[in-house]
Amino acid sequence: MSRAQSSDTESELGDIDQTKLSNVGISDDESQYEGLTATESAPGAADTADSKETSVIIHGIQGRHPCGYCKSSWGSRSYVMIGSKLSCRIYQRLIDRGWRRSGTLLYLIDHSDSCCCYYPIRAHALEVEARKSDKKVLRRWQKRFGMQNDPNLGFFENVNAAGGAELKIVMDTTAYSDEKYSLFEKYQKMVHGDATSVHSFKEFLCYQLLTYEQPQARDSSAETREEISRLLPHGLGSYHMCYYIGNELAAVGVIDVLPYYISSVYFFYDPKYSDLSMGSYSSLREISLTRSLHRLIPSIEYYNLGYYVPGCKKMVYKAHWRPADLLDTISFKWVPIERCMDRIARHPGFCTFDPELDHRNIVRDKSETLAAAMPALNMPKEVIGKDIDSMVIQLSPMDSGNSVIPLPVSRLSTVSKNMEDFALQACATMGPDVVKDVRIIV
Ligand SMILES: [Zn+2]
């Protein structure tokens, strides 16, 4: 298990150019918006005004990109959108439908058209049992910092104490600093042999996509509030977990704290501390933080590690902590990983883990789906079943300034076939309920 080897956790989309994407969806043909007015009202439009205010997504594209794991040139296909700002609650729901973010890019991999099968993975942080290699990492830290294992404390409490007075962890915002960048540059160069730039660092790890939100605390006491603000000074949202050894910045863990998850985004460290298994230690600290937060915010239970690719050596570490689940990307149910591995062994290539779904039918259904023919796009049936007349999509055409047009999906075809297709794809990939709560710029 080594997180250091694979800390390019979210590199799947490293080659997609964001500036190109930002132009996607702008049409020269302004007539497509004829008949749309910002004052048009539609049923349900006012119900979720708050989340619309805080979640804006720019209509993206589907595209192929080379695979960061098996290095095949065929690579995989993704459905991609650009987040402008996103509420933690919406992002949580997107993760539970297989989406992931890389900087401001939100992407959903087309599992049926990829060299590798990417399955979202999460560990049950509250039940994680330390394994032999975890204990070894702890001992290494205790030895280095002159700490003794305290038999009265649990494993994770000992992990927290392992750096003694020499280690300080600061929960910082994702704001850029020269100190963080110097560390990132050194790490990329020495560990991955990659050149980098301030611009890509900012875009990938500093842009504040998620809005900070107050969590649902277990009670309203002053003690609870104080304890939460000590652990999460800004509430739910993205953090740079800065590890200082002495007074020097030694490592940064980039995490998203969501209503149910701590989601690990990236980790970089000073290579001079390589002998401390920094990647493994940081994962243990993140699991430990999840457990501490659960006591204050009961909904936070899982440690989310992004996509897992069965059979990929670089990803082995992600399945290290058990119990864990993989997401079935057809039924959107989380399924215990042991059951999934069993099914994967019987169905090489993309498969569903839901015993109620027939694998052969899912593959056959591809011909009936929308243009993209992604497995998730079997969902238009779900969409249509939901009565699209009552489904309202919040659109902001590029040329309409900031005005939002709430429009029933069924009316889009009268405006533009492209917009109707897009709306149905958005419903199918993000889920009909999420789409209603997000403002989408096309
Ligand atoms: Zn691949």
Q: Any idea which fold 126-300 has?
A: Aminopeptidase (3.40.630)
Instruction: Determine the distance separating the centroid of ligand 1 and the alpha carbon of 98, expressed in angstroms.
Output: 17
Instruction: Determine the distance separating the centroid of ligand 1 and the alpha carbon of 12, expressed in angstroms.
Output: 9
* Three-state DSSP state, 147: coil
Could you read off the pLDDT of 330-361 as tens digits, one per residue?
Answer: 788 999 999 999 888 887 777 778 777 665 55
Report residue 175: phi and psi, to 5°.
-60, 145
Place 275 in a pLDDT band, splitting at 50, 70 and 90: very high
Instruction: Determine the distance separating the centroid of ligand 1 and the alpha carbon of 66, expressed in angstroms.
Output: 8
Distances (CA, A) of 26 to 23, 60, 62, 393, 438: 6, 10, 15, 18, 19
Instruction: Determine the distance separating the centroid of ligand 1 and the alpha carbon of 199, expressed in angstroms.
Output: 27
Instruction: Determine the distance separating the centroid of ligand 1 and the alpha carbon of 312, expressed in angstroms.
Output: 9
Peptide bond just before 323 cis, omega within 30 deg: yes
Instruction: Determine the distance separating the centroid of ligand 1 and the alpha carbon of 307, expressed in angstroms.
Output: 12
Contacts of residue 339, defined as CB under 8 A and 6 or more positions apart, other chains included, come to: 353
| Residue 37 Rama label (left phi>0; alpha psi -120 to 50; beta) | beta
From 27, 184, 241, 209, select the one nearest 102 (Cα to Cα): 209
Could you read off the pLDDT of 355-379 as tens digits, one per residue?
Answer: 776 655 554 444 343 333 444 444 4
Place 314 in a pLDDT band, splitting at 50, 70 and 90: confident
Percent of the chain with pLDDT over 90: 52
Instruction: Determine the distance separating the centroid of ligand 1 and the alpha carbon of 73, expressed in angstroms.
Output: 9
pLDDT of residue 6: 39
**pLDDT, mean of residues 282-289:** 98
Instruction: Determine the distance separating the centroid of ligand 1 and the alpha carbon of 71, expressed in angstroms.
Output: 6
Q: Which amino acid is at 252?
A: V
Instruction: Determine the distance separating the centroid of ligand 1 and the alpha carbon of 298, expressed in angstroms.
Output: 37
Lowest mean pLDDT among 198-212, 220-234, 356-370: 356-370
From 265, 246, 245, select the one nearest 254 (Cα to Cα): 265
Contacts of residue 316, defined as CB under 8 A and 6 or more positions apart, other chains included, come to: 1
Instruction: Determine the distance separating the centroid of ligand 1 and the alpha carbon of 299, expressed in angstroms.
Output: 34
Place 56 in a pLDDT band, splitting at 50, 70 and 90: confident
Cα torsion 21, 25, 29, 34: sign: negative
Instruction: Determine the distance separating the centroid of ligand 1 and the alpha carbon of 187, expressed in angstroms.
Output: 24
Instruction: Determine the distance separating the centroid of ligand 1 and the alpha carbon of 16, expressed in angstroms.
Output: 16
Percent of the chain with pLDDT over 70: 73
Instruction: Determine the distance separating the centroid of ligand 1 and the alpha carbon of 69, expressed in angstroms.
Output: 5
DSSP labels, 157-225? HHHHHTTGGGEEEEEE-S---HHHHHHHHHHIIIII-----HHHHIIIII---EEPB----S---HHHH
Instruction: Determine the distance separating the centroid of ligand 1 and the alpha carbon of 108, expressed in angstroms.
Output: 15
Kindly report the number of other CB atoms within 10 A of residue 235's CB atom.
15
Could you read off the pLDDT of 108-140 as tens digits, one per residue?
Answer: 887 767 888 889 999 999 999 999 999 999 999
Could you read off the pLDDT of 140-198 as tens digits, one per residue?
Answer: 999 999 999 999 999 999 999 999 999 999 999 999 999 999 999 999 999 999 999 99
**Extents of the domains making up the chain:** 11-35+50-119+333-441, 126-300
pLDDT of residue 386: 53
**pLDDT, mean of residues 73-91:** 87
* Three-state DSSP state, 405: strand
- Any bridge partners for residue 394, and if so which? 406, 439
pLDDT of residue 409: 64
Instruction: Determine the distance separating the centroid of ligand 1 and the alpha carbon of 432, expressed in angstroms.
Output: 30
- Say if residue 202's pLDDT is above 60: yes
Instruction: Determine the distance separating the centroid of ligand 1 and the alpha carbon of 268, expressed in angstroms.
Output: 24
Place 53 in a pLDDT band, splitting at 50, 70 and 90: low
Could you read off the pLDDT of 398-416 as tens digits, one per residue?
Answer: 666 666 666 666 666 666 6
